[in-house]
Amino acid sequence: MSTLSREECIELGVSIPNAPLIDWAEGQLAAARAREARLEHRGIHAPYLKEIQTLVKTITAAQAGLARTSAVPPAEVVDAQRIREEAFAYWQEAKQIVKVEFGSNPDMLVKFRLGVRTGRLIANLTRELDCIVSLLGAHSEQLGWLGVTDTFRKVGEVLIGRLKEAQSKLDSACKALPPAVAELCFLKGRLYDLTRKLVRVGQLEFLREPEQAAAFNYSVLRRELRAGSEVRLKSVKSAVR
């Protein structure tokens, strides 16, 4: 069902710590089970939910079988995640600036590719950041009052360079993973992808019932990832001011 390649699944898998991923997937599975009849209208049947459950079990077992040292991600992976988070925060800020200035100009919103989601894949983020930073440059006069200074754009360019470097190191690190760890990451990537789809389908089915829709979310997963990100975001923010 996933349209992601094995390499992309591995990249997703290395980007997420095990415990929050498992907790999140189990929480979403429980939310879905309580609403199975409605979700069936949108193609979420028992085999879909069973696949998530099987992945949760397989990952838990695989993790237990790996030596403690194998559970620690390589330094390149940790660095790549840090850079990805910084770049993602910058991209969010740049997109919000565009929304403010061109909020009533649909063609500009399309040009800046505001509707694209990068997920956690560095290649996607690099492409979108490349696009938005070059457009910020082209429209810098109009956007200056919102904080798009030369420094802000340069920070964007630096981040693109760092992302490219991080991607290359991450690719090498992923290729060098022991087969069992690579397999675990692959399964984690699939679990992330399937659970994400479940969240989106839940939000779709309950689009007009916000209290129900709220049960489908990323809260558990993001809680652990957020703390570190916020510190880094503030550093980026203060650096460009």
Binding region for other proteins (CB under 8 A) = 2-4, 8, 41-43, 89, 92-93, 96-97, 99-100, 103-106, 109-110, 112-119, 124, 127-128, 145-147, 193, 196-197, 200-201, 203-204, 207-208, 230, 233-234, 237, 241
Q: Which two tokens stand for residue 195?
A: 């659970």
Cβ-based nearer residue to other proteins, 165 or 209 = 209
Q: Tell me the C-alpha distance between 11 and 14, whole Å.
A: 5
* Closest distance to other proteins from the beta carbon of 18 (Å): 22
**Nearest-CA neighbor of 130 among 162, 173, 97, 177?**
162
The least CB distance from residue 178 to other proteins, in Å, is: 27
Q: Least separation, in Å, of the C-beta of 30 and other proteins?
A: 20
Q: Which residues contact 93 (CB under 8 A, 6 or more apart)?
A: 237
| Total Cβ atoms within 10 A of residue 115 | 8
* Distance (Å, whole) CA 72 – CA 74: 7
Minimum gap (Å) between residue 208 Cβ and other proteins:
5
In the complex, least distance from residue 115 CB atom to other proteins, rounded to whole angstroms: 3
> In which residue are the tokens 């923010």 written?
237
User: C-beta of 101: minimal distance to other proteins in Å?
Assistant: 9
Q: Which of 76/120 has CB closer to other proteins?
A: 120
Minimum Å distance from CB 209 to other proteins? 9
